[in-house]
Amino acid sequence: MVPDREVALTPCDLEISDPVMSKLAKTRNIGIIAHVDAGKTTTTERLLFYSGTKHKVGDVDDGDTTTDFDPLERQKGITINSAAVSIDWGEYSINIIDTPGHVDFTAEVERSLRVLDGGVCVFCAVGGVEVQSETVWFQANKYKVPRIAYVNKLDRMGADFFDCVEQMKAKLHMTPAIVTIPVGQAGEFQGIIDLIRMKFVKKDMSDPTHRKYDLLDIPAEHKEYAAKYREQLIDVVSHVDDEITMLHLEGQDVPTELLLKAIRKGTLETAFNPVHCGTSKMFHGVRELLDMVVDFLPSPIDRPPVEGIVPKSKEKAFRKPDTTEPFSGLAFKTVAESTGDLVYVRVYSGQFKQGEVYLNTTSGKTERAARIYRMMGNKREEKEVAGPGEIVAVVGLKQTFTGNTLCDEKSPVALESIVFPKPVIAQALIPDKTTDETKLADALARLTRDDPTLKFHTDAETNQLILSGMGELHLEVSIEKLHRFQGVKVSTGRPMVAYRLTFSKPLELQTRYIKQSGGRGKFAVINMKYEPLTAERIEEEIARLAEDGEKPDPNNIYFESTIFGGAVPREYIPSVEAGFRDGTARGHKYPFPFVDLRAELFDGKYHDVDSSQDAFKLAAIENFRDAQAAAGITLLEPIMNVVVIAPETHQGSIAGDINRRRGLIMEMANDKGRSSIKAQIPLANLFGYTTDLRGATSGTASFSMEFSHYAPVREELADLPKTDKK
């Protein structure tokens, strides 16, 4: 379908005569971003419908939308994976990426914003600026992505367009340029007023095709109201256009074409953001949104040349969106498929040709692009060549993953990669007895490669398989993917805390290891001193090692021999140390390693025939085991440095919760309505904290943590395996 109005020419359209570049000027790469349940996917469906790309419009509730094609997405009714679709609107080609709104899938938004030129940020007229709205808005600020704000769901009970705009100003620190206003809200919603053309856009509610609209004069009762907001629009826009300022001061009307160009200029400069309104579910305001995408959001040539470095020289290099430039593209997403990986690539310069070989500057290897596709959700259209500004999916790349750069072999360049947030929550995976371990490892490797915020490892101490992610929903979906798509079965459990052990007091202990059973026997006698180390004593040990040119032990386990007179021959002393260190790797009572302990071999005896290295090592192992019972064990727990960022209104409740978690608050500070709380909290009391914190603050708080130190803990407070609590 071709829109029923003539799309305004943009500055780049007027300056470019080359057919290829003219086509590029009529390309838009946009993302639909917002908080969960603001209506992103429904808005995308309506955009597809009006563009003529889709004849039957899908619905999230019915599970038949184009972008939420994953069975998990349809089951849960949410967007999990960012999905790309391409549409035509008149002479314009628009590539749209529908992104998830749930905070657990923020990586999908991060990688999409990295390759987009513009965005449509959808807000719910009832919920206003919700927490994920803030997150994605500031993510877009980081990448300097020009945006249109679209206030959706004006037909819903409790809708308040103007309160939503006030929240945008307060929470997002943005300057709104309101271009449409509602006529009625909630149950009284009738349509919208276009402040640029000063017309009332009224939908024919009796039309089953949802395509009939009337462009009417503004009703008399709304003229004053409309004039007020047009005045505000012109006042905002005049800051970027002197001609509008002069016309406004002289009391003259501002021509529509001049106003459109000025709004575009201000949007591209991120001086302000156009604010549009409607209700996507009821088909109001979506066609106007398409017009605004082509009128206000940038084409690839409106964006600065992409910056990278030449791999060998490390010199800066720039690539312009021009077909005559050497090819460069960024892989921003990989999807594992049974027939091979599907790699999404944003082309920044040159031409990306099917069957050609390109250099991956991240891995240093060459890759052949076997097939190139233009995507439509899970459907694809094959292309021979992709040019600058295009977002395509490629099959045949074996060693190209998220964040990798593909380029012309003769003109190598490495583009800035994508930085993802670190996982904040972990879960233990318990493989089913029938699960093939190799198959599970392969499935996890593919899953974590496709999702950079997902990590897994086997804990060397607890031997648990640990999966880490951005939230409980993120882990739930990832495990469901393992079950559904990778054919492996796992159950989940709580991760174990990696405790440490040390002695409760110093002691001396002799061990006589004498074995005689015919033939050559085993004889070793050792006298050992053990000392749990304080912070001061650890520094002394480190200084002693430094004098000898040795490095400190990461667990502060130290051994020294003070043998004189050959009571224990020199060749047996390393065996005593080896036996001691073997013993410290795992405690007798608790299955955790020792830390902060010094051992000294100060006396002993040997036998000319029966003594051996093996005998002295076994004597040391036995000595250390007996010493654990004699000295007593102090259990040490990991203490984490935690920083919580939240609105000031939640400061008191967060501080109280930290105290209940055996935490110690180190510092509290407030700035611009946000509170920062630094504390030290035992790791055992932080499991589930992500979910608890989000629930207690309505999702407005976040936290980060890193290891600080180990501290003694009473056994009854420790999160020990049940088999060890005796």
Asked if residue 593 and residue 462 are part of one domain, the reply reads: no
Instruction: From 460, 493, 526, give the residue that closes a domain.
Output: 493
Q: Is the pLDDT of residue 404 over 70?
A: yes
pLDDT bracket for residue 108 (50, 70, 90): low
Q: Is the pLDDT of residue 267 over 90?
A: yes
| CA proximity to 28, closest of 301, 320, 411, 288 | 301
CATH code of residue 91: 3.40.50.300
Average pLDDT of the residues of the chain = 83
Lowest mean pLDDT among 117-126, 415-424, 564-573, 633-642: 415-424
Segment 139-147 shows an average pLDDT of 87
- Looking at 459-612, which runs of residues are DSSP E strands? 465-469, 490-493, 500-503, 507-515, 522-532, 557-561, 597-605
Q: Is the pLDDT of residue 82 over 60?
A: no
CATH code of residue 356: 2.40.30.10
Asked if residue 359 and residue 315 are part of one domain, the reply reads: yes
Partnered with residue 415 across adjacent β-strands are 308
- Give me the pLDDT at residue 56, please: 46
3-state helix, strand, coil in the chain (%, to 5): 30, 30, 35
Segment 433-437 shows an average pLDDT of 72
- Give me the pLDDT at residue 135, please: 76
- Give me the pLDDT at residue 55, please: 42
Asked if residue 666 and residue 646 are part of one domain, the reply reads: yes
| Backbone φ/ψ region at 344: left (φ over 0), alpha (ψ -120 to 50), beta | beta
- Give me the pLDDT at residue 380, please: 81
27-36, 546-555, 599-608: which is most confident: 599-608
CATH code of residue 517: 3.30.230.10
For 438, the domain range is 425-493
Residue 2 inside a domain? The answer is no
Asked if residue 225 and residue 329 are part of one domain, the reply reads: no
- Give me the pLDDT at residue 100, please: 63
pLDDT bracket for residue 167 (50, 70, 90): very high
Asked if residue 231 and residue 209 are part of one domain, the reply reads: yes
Instruction: From 474, 493, 512, give the residue that closes a domain.
Output: 493
Asked if residue 372 and residue 246 are part of one domain, the reply reads: no
Residue 5 inside a domain? The answer is no
3-state SS, 74-128, equals HHHCCCCCCEEEEEEECCEEEEEEECCCCHHHHHHHHHHHHHCCEEEEEEECCCE
Model pTM score? 0.65
Q: Is the pLDDT of residue 301 over 60?
A: yes
CATH code of residue 483: 3.30.70.870
Q: Is the pLDDT of residue 64 over 60?
A: no
The more confidently predicted of residues 369 and 56 is 369
Name the domain count of the chain: 5
Share of the chain above pLDDT 90, in %: 41
Residue 4 inside a domain? The answer is no
- Give me the pLDDT at residue 263, please: 96
Asked if residue 221 and residue 98 are part of one domain, the reply reads: yes
Q: Is the pLDDT of residue 62 over 80?
A: no
pLDDT bracket for residue 5 (50, 70, 90): very low
Share of the chain above pLDDT 70, in %: 87
- Give me the pLDDT at residue 455, please: 85
- Give me the pLDDT at residue 103, please: 55
Segment 527-544 shows an average pLDDT of 90
Q: In angstroms, rounded to a whole number, what is the distance separating the alpha carbons of residues 214 and 158? A: 27
Instruction: From 272, 302, 332, give the residue that closes a domain.
Output: 302
3-7, 80-84, 390-394: which is most confident: 390-394
Q: Is the pLDDT of residue 607 over 60?
A: yes
pLDDT bracket for residue 105 (50, 70, 90): low
Q: What are phi and psi of 460, to 5 degrees?
A: -65, -25
Residue 683 inside a domain? The answer is yes
- Give me the pLDDT at residue 603, please: 95
Q: In angstroms, rounded to a whole number, what is the distance separating the alpha carbons of residues 381 and 383? A: 7
Asked if residue 310 and residue 177 are part of one domain, the reply reads: no
Q: Is the pLDDT of residue 274 over 60?
A: yes
Asked if residue 208 and residue 84 are part of one domain, the reply reads: yes
Lowest mean pLDDT among 12-16, 159-163, 187-191, 597-601: 12-16
Asked if residue 118 and residue 78 are part of one domain, the reply reads: yes
Asked if residue 297 and residue 315 are part of one domain, the reply reads: no
Name the strand (E) or helix (H) holding 438: helix 437-450
- Give me the pLDDT at residue 71, please: 47
Residue 222 inside a domain? The answer is yes
Residue 329 inside a domain? The answer is yes
- Give me the pLDDT at residue 699, please: 74
Residue 1 inside a domain? The answer is no
